[in-house]
Amino acid sequence: MAVDVVIYHNPECGTSRNALAMIRNAGIEPHVVEYLKSPPSRALLVQLIARADMTPRDLLREKDTPYAQLGLGDTSLSDAALVDAMMAHPILINRPLVVSPLGVKLCRPSEAVLDLLPVAQQGAFAKEDGEQVVDAAGQRVS
């Protein structure tokens, strides 16, 4: 079964690497978009936010970004202003954002990606920190 999955990925991010590995553990080779090198267009970003049933603020990343310097904690800023900031500084887009036939989701924690995969995991999976997420039978560990 061919499954079309897109991951907006930052290879420097452990959460993003774990989500990508879980997609591959399901036997899916996703379209990997390194969004810091190839950011989505404004229209696509707005569409992804809407499809994920989020607000721009929900997708805004604070850690290791210019969030504070840009004053993005100001709750009076409009959604358009927040999207403008993400377009100007793609590092402000939280990751990994995953698109599948089952929807769009910010996969934090990384195992949230399992909710978007229409096929089962093909074997055990442990995150980079050793936390077991999927058992040998391909079942999610609670």
Q: What are the catalytic residues?
A: 13
Beta bridge partners of 100: 103
Please tell me the number of Cα atoms within 13 Å of 41 on its side-chain side.
3
79-88 vs 42-51: helix axis angle to the nearest 10?
120
Look up tokens 């879980």; give the residue.
22
What CA–CA distance (Å, rounded) separates 127 from 42? 32
Contacts of residue 85, defined as CB under 8 A and 6 or more positions apart, other chains included, come to 60, 70, 72, 92
Look up tokens 């994920």; give the residue.
52
